[in-house]
Each structure stands twice: as structure tokens, then as C-alpha cells.
Structure 1
Amino acid sequence: MDKPQWRHHSRNHAGACDFIGISKYDSSSEDLFRLHIPHQFKRKIDFNNPNDPLLLQVIPTRYEHREDQSYSDDPVGDQQANKGKGIIHKYHGRVLLITTGSCAINCRYCFRRSYPYAVNNASANNWTQALSYIKANDDIHEVILSGGDPLMLATKTLEKFSTQLQHIKHVKTLRIHTRMPIVTPTRITDNFLNWLHNLPFKKVMVLHSNHANELSSDLTNTFKSISATNTQLLNQSVLLKKINDNSQTLAQLSHRLFDFGILPYYLNQLDKVTGTQHFCVSNQQAKAIHKELLKILPGYLVPKLVVEISGKEHKSPLF
């Protein structure tokens, strides 16, 4: 069985007392999107620095109350592409499953911060509807586990799904999107690694890291153990104002990722979900930053600069 330690570590370990003296903190924004900072991520935050790049990702601020008609609760069209309980089918050959509404960390820029998880959970009823949909659509070759964070589910729950999924012969790849190895590395238990190793699919894990400070040296064994299961490790970041909106910070992130055997995949422009305007970097600035990355990094360390547009059948590159 999974060790219970990671369950404790993934709980919220922060409160108003942690933000004393930080003027941008606004407790009322927790009514919009609750505060949740796990133990192992919290230890990396410098609470004495109000501009700490990890702090800025998770601190509730008054800026979240700003209104802007160009922002919405579903900026990427998840509801439009919904094919059943937690089944999102936007792109050819791939289907995304909302496995849970739980996350070990609530990032304030999260594009699903207003997602109706209570009525859209693919793991409900032993994954029945999700598996039926995948089986009925034989053009689906890749299944993407998302959320929330799929690694908030117990390994035995993931195993129940994969055991049934392996009987659908047109599925070749299982992809997992997660922040857990970074924010709660104790989740990567021997039991989980055994499950991952024994999966009869091509395996991809897409991590979500935005700043090199998240990638402390104590994560070395975590990433090595995942790589040892023949799982391809990729990373996607969000371009965030005052957090990573310059080429040097992003280059440092790419190099740090590569230290751990992780390849940069996407640099996403902010998905314009309500309450996140203060994180937005203009397209013009984003393209200028990316151009600098092309100059200072080898090609394999330059993530693709993209924006997701609701209704489109692919992510849109920004050139």
C-alpha cells in the first residue's frame, strides 16, 4: 500500500499567519479560490521576500477581484469539448480525462480554478463512462490523465483504470499531467513506481514547473526513479508576470530541468481565466522573450511558445 506520509504532506500547510507583513495578501480572495500550499513546496518559499517567485504563484491577492470582460471561467473551451463526465475530447487522437478535482497545490493562475469538478469526474463509477467513450472511438491512441492532479488519486485507483484501459487495443500511450513530483515528492512511492513501470503503454509524464527554484537538489532521486520506469519526462510552464517573464529566468529553468533529465515542452501563454489578469504577459513581450531563448539555448532546451484558443483543434504557436 502507498505510505500515508504523502497524504499528510499534500494537505494545506499555510495560513494567514504565514503572510503577515506581505501587503499584497488578501484573505478574501480565498473565497474565490481556496489557499492550498503543501508542506514540501512551502519549505522552498522565502516568506521574507514579498516578490519570491514561488510565493507569487500561490499567495491570494486583491488583484484577483479585478473584473475584465476578456477573462472568463472557461477560457480554453473545456465545457464545449466535454463528451461526458470528465471526458474532454478537443484534439485528434487524444482524449483528456479529468480524474479528480483535488490538487496538492492551488496555483492562483490555474485555468481550471472555476471548473465544475463535482459533476465532471471521469473516475466516478469505476471509470465506466470514460472507458466506454474511449472504446467507442478507435481513433484515440493517447489517453491523458489530468485534473486537478491525477496523482492525488491512490495508486490502486489508477491501477483499476489502467487494468481496464489495457484491453482497449487502439490505445498506445498514457500521458500524466502532474505537479506532484515537484510539490509533494513523497507521492512517488515504490508502489506507484511499480505501477508505472508495469504499464503496457508508451508512457509520458508532463510536469508543471515555472521556476528553477522549484527544482531543488533533493528531487534528484525522485526524477531518476520515474525515468527508470521508461517514462518520458517533459515539462510545461506558464509565462507569468513578475515570476518568469524574462529570458534568463526561463533559460535557467530549462538548464535545471535538463539536469534532471526533463525536456522543456511548452511555454504557455496565460489562459485568461477570471481573476488572473495580474499574471498576464503581452503576446508582444512573450514573443520577444522567446526570441531571446532561441539565441541563448540549444534548440532542444527551447520550449514551444503557445496559446490555447477555445474551439481550435490544436494549440496555436506564437511566432
Structure 2
Amino acid sequence: MTTRYITSVSQIPRLSAGEKKDIREVENWFSFKASEYYLNLIDWSDPYDPIRRLIIPDPGEIGGEDGDLDPSSESTYTVVPGLQHKYARTGLLLVSDRCAGLCRYCFRKRLFVEGADEISPDITARINYIRKHPEVTNVLLTGGDPLMLPTKKLREIIADIRTIDHVHIIRIGSKMPAYNPMRISEDPELLALLKEYSHPDKRIYLMSQFTHPREITPEAEKAISALIDAGVMILNQTPILRGINDSGDVLAKLFRKLTFIGVSPYYIFQCRPTHGNHIYAVPIEESYRIFEEARSQVSGVAKRARFVMSHATGKIEIAACTKDYVVMKYHQAADPEEMGKVVVCRRNPSAYWFDDYVSIVDECPLSSMDDPRNDLVIGASPEADPLSE
């Protein structure tokens, strides 16, 4: 189960001296980390290899001033240090500031900079908050990667949560099945822990993060099978990323391979505008086209994925594009009154985030389906837009 982690590109012999020199400046800004297992998945003869692009720093990351270290305003919803309560039924617990690999498109880069202090090993205050809020039925363990914690520590956290009667679902956000699947398949204590606390009426879900079909190796399949045998439900989420999975064919292959091994595609994310992420981002409308091309090639089981962006105001689903408009819907909302709200915007091929759009209709309540404004949803031309004045 012991896996060596590499924390500097200087330790990678397959990179040339020139490549290491170009990358060294990036490491001064954004950390690098990868497992030997994951580095061995790279086709080093291909400079555009998607696995390489996913994990190896790119000088382009520091080529601009765009982005934010907290693009979804997580600090706004932090109610106790290390605990976010953005959506009524979900508590998000930051339990680790370490990962098995540092994704170049990470939206929580702030956790890996010197002086970061969002995560405390003592979760007592966070558990007490959840205990006092009966509306919280889901707890998401994230970070960092919770599976980087020692199994003993993870047991303490899960056992504490299971003493809270109103919490039915525990979710574990982890890219370990891709980065170091042996951490799962070769740790019987971890599998026993998951089996013990994943009950028929109170399941544990693992939110995997397979981003490219080549990450689904025999080792990864073994880890997934072990999780399923332990009674864990598995859902997958990934952003659409330039040069990695920005193709309908590649995304469709990912969807198919996931469903074949028992993992349900869950969320496809718009890449968040985190500082340094600009070279990995794909415009929203192009991402939507890629998403729909992928869905057209798969069975109904794989079509369950939703294309969303995690905006400061909520999870906004990109539901449809017409000739002139983009139709979005609040799949989740920080303000409960906005749940299900539909926003219709004029198309903007250069838009990378919700804030890049200008709303034409900002609300289409279900009680007003006969409102003539809803013609916009089915693609009325601008001249026919009753609100264009």
C-alpha cells in the first residue's frame, strides 16, 4: 500500500532540464504533488498528453492576473472554522489539507499556500454545530482529500457524525481512486470502516473525481469494486478542462467506462475562475455543446449527469442553449427562495462564468408557465422578445 509521492518536478527524470526550468517558477506560486503510480500513466512521448496536463505544472498558470483564490465565496458560508453551511440540508466539512496529487485546476489552491489555516484537527465545534441543526441530513467530508487522513482519524470523524441521528448521508469527496487506488483496495481497515458505517438507511457515498477515461485503470477498477462490496455508493464529478476532456468523444468514453464499473456520472462542472485556472477553462457554451455531444453517445444510465457551475449564489445548471439564449436553472441555491429559479440570458460565446452574462429574464416561476416571456426558453428571436425594450 506504500506509495511514493513526488513533491517537486525536479524529481521527475522524464522531464528535460529545460522543462524543469520553465516549471520551477510555477512551483513558487502553486504547489506540485503526484504519486509515482499516477505519473506512470503519462505518455511522456506526447507533450499534449491529457494526464500530463492534469498533473504537471504549466508556465501558463502564472501568465495572467485573472481569477480568485475563493471563486465560489466559500468564506461567506463558513459558519465555524472548517465548516460551510451553504445549502440547508448539507454541511461541508474541511477535514484535510493534503491530497494524493494536486490537480492543476484545483479551486481550493488557497489551502495549499503557506499560512493557510482553514482546517483544524479538532472537529468538535463543527460536529456540535451539525448536531444543533436538524435540517442537515447530508455531511460532505472534503478538503484536501479525506482519504489522505490515517484510517484511525477517519474512523473518529465518521463515528462522531453517525451519533447525529438526523444525518443520513455521509459523502467523502476524493480523487484517491484515480491518484492512488491502492490506498483503498489494500487497506482492509478502511474498507471495514466504510462497511460498518454505510447502513441500508444511512449510506456513505464516495464522490470520485475521474476526469479522463485513462484514469480508470485495472487498479482503479479494483478499488471501485472494493468500495461497492463495502456498501458504498459512488458518484463521479469532474470539470470540463481544456486539453484534458474538452471533447464529446472523450467525455462520452469517460461516462461509459464509469457506468460499466458501477459509478454514476453526477456533476460535470464549469471550471471555476480560480487564480491560475484560465488556461484550463472552456467557455460555458462550448462546454455545454461538448456535454450534450457526450450525452448523445451514451445510454440513459450515463445521461443522469448535470452540467453545472458552483457559483457563489448556488449550483446553477446550464439547462439549454437556443440560437439566441442560454437557459440556466438554480439546481441548488444559497437563498432557499431561489431554488428552481430559471435565468435566461443572451448568448455570449466568450462567457466563462455566470457573471459574464446579462440576464434577459431572471425568473420564470413554475406558477407562470403561460407567461409569454417563456417563449424565450424555446428560442424566440430578439425581435420577438417582449422584454427587449
Report runs of 4+ in structure 1 exceeding 4 Å deviation: 21-25
Q: Which residue number in structure 2 is paired with residue 76 of structure 1?
A: 72
Question: 2:223 matched to 1:222?
Answer: yes
TM-aligned CA deviation for residue 21 of structure 1: 7.0
User: Aligned-pair distance for 1:283?
Assistant: 1.0
| 2:196 corresponds to which of 182, 198, 205 | 198
SS at match of 1:265: strand
Q: Which amino acid aligns with 2:294?
A: L
Answer whether contact 1:149 1:177 (CA < 8 A) is retained. Answer: yes
Match of 1:34 in 2: 31
SS of structure 1 residue aligned to 2:296:
helix
Aligned to 2:84: 88
**Partner residue, 2:53:** 56
Counterpart AA for 2:313: G
CA distance in 2, matches of 1:307, 1:52: 26
Secondary structure at the counterpart of residue 90 of structure 1: strand
Q: Please tell me whether residue 293 in structure 1 is matched to residue 288 in structure 2.
A: no
Question: Which residue is 2:4 aligned to?
Answer: 9
Matched, 1:185 2:181: yes
Indicate the residue corresponding to 1:251 in structure 2. 252
SS at match of 1:34: coil
1:165 aligns with 2:166: no
CA distance in 1 between counterparts of 2:91 and 2:316 reads 14
Q: Which amino acid aligns with 2:83?
A: I
User: RMSD of the alignment, in Å?
Assistant: 1.9
| Worse-superposed segment, 91-100 or 217-226 | 217-226
Task: Summarize deviations over 1:276-317 as a string: whole Å, max 9, x none.
Answer: 1001101111111122123222232132111111132x3433
Q: Deviations over 1:74-113 (max 9, x none)?
A: 1011111111121011112001111111001011100001
Q: Secondary structure at the match of 1:170?
A: coil
The 3 A distance-change label for structure 1 pair 39 and 17 is: closer
Distance (whole Å) between structure 2 residues aligned to residue 215 and residue 206 of structure 1: 15
CA contact (8 A) 2:38 2:180 kept: yes
2:307 partner SS: strand
Residue 310 of structure 1 corresponds to 312
Cα distance change on mapping 1:22 and 1:286 into 2, 3 Å: farther
3-state SS of paired residue (2:14)? helix
Higher alpha-carbon Rg: 2
Percent identity between the aligned chains? 25
Aligned twin of 2:138: 142
**Partner residue of 1:120?**
118
Is the deviation greater in 9-18 or in 191-200? 9-18
Question: How many Å separate the matches in 2 of 1:11 and 1:83?
Answer: 35
Change (3 A) 1:154 1:146: same
**CA displacement at 1:53 relative to structure 2:** 0.5
Greater displacement, 200-209 / 187-196? 200-209
Q: Which runs of 5+ in 1 are unaligned?
A: none
TM-score by structure 1 length? 0.92
Mean Cα displacement is larger for which, 106-115 or 58-67? 58-67
Q: What residue ranges of structure 2 are gaps of 5+ in the alignment?
A: 321-389
1:153 aligns with 2:149: yes
Given that 1:80 and 1:311 are in contact with CA atoms closer than 8 Å, whether structure 2 keeps it comes out as no
CA-to-partner distance for each residue in 1:214-247, whole Å, 9 max, x for gaps?
1112322211110011111111111001111010
- 2:262 and 2:51 mapped to 1: Cα distance? 22
Determine the structure 2 residue equivalent to 1:262. 263
Q: Residue by residue, what CA displacement relative to the aligned partner does 1:245-290 show, whole Å, maximum 9, x if unpaired?
A: 0100001111111221111111111011001100110111111112
Structure 1 letter corresponding to 2:235: L
Give the TM-score normalised by the residue count of structure 2.
0.76
The alignment partner of 2:139 has SS state of strand
Alpha-carbon distance between aligned partners in 1 of 2:116 and 2:275, rounded to the nearest angstrom: 19
Which residue of structure 2 aligns with residue 20 of structure 1?
16
How many residues align? The count is 310
Kept in 1, the 8 Å contact 2:252–2:295? The answer is no
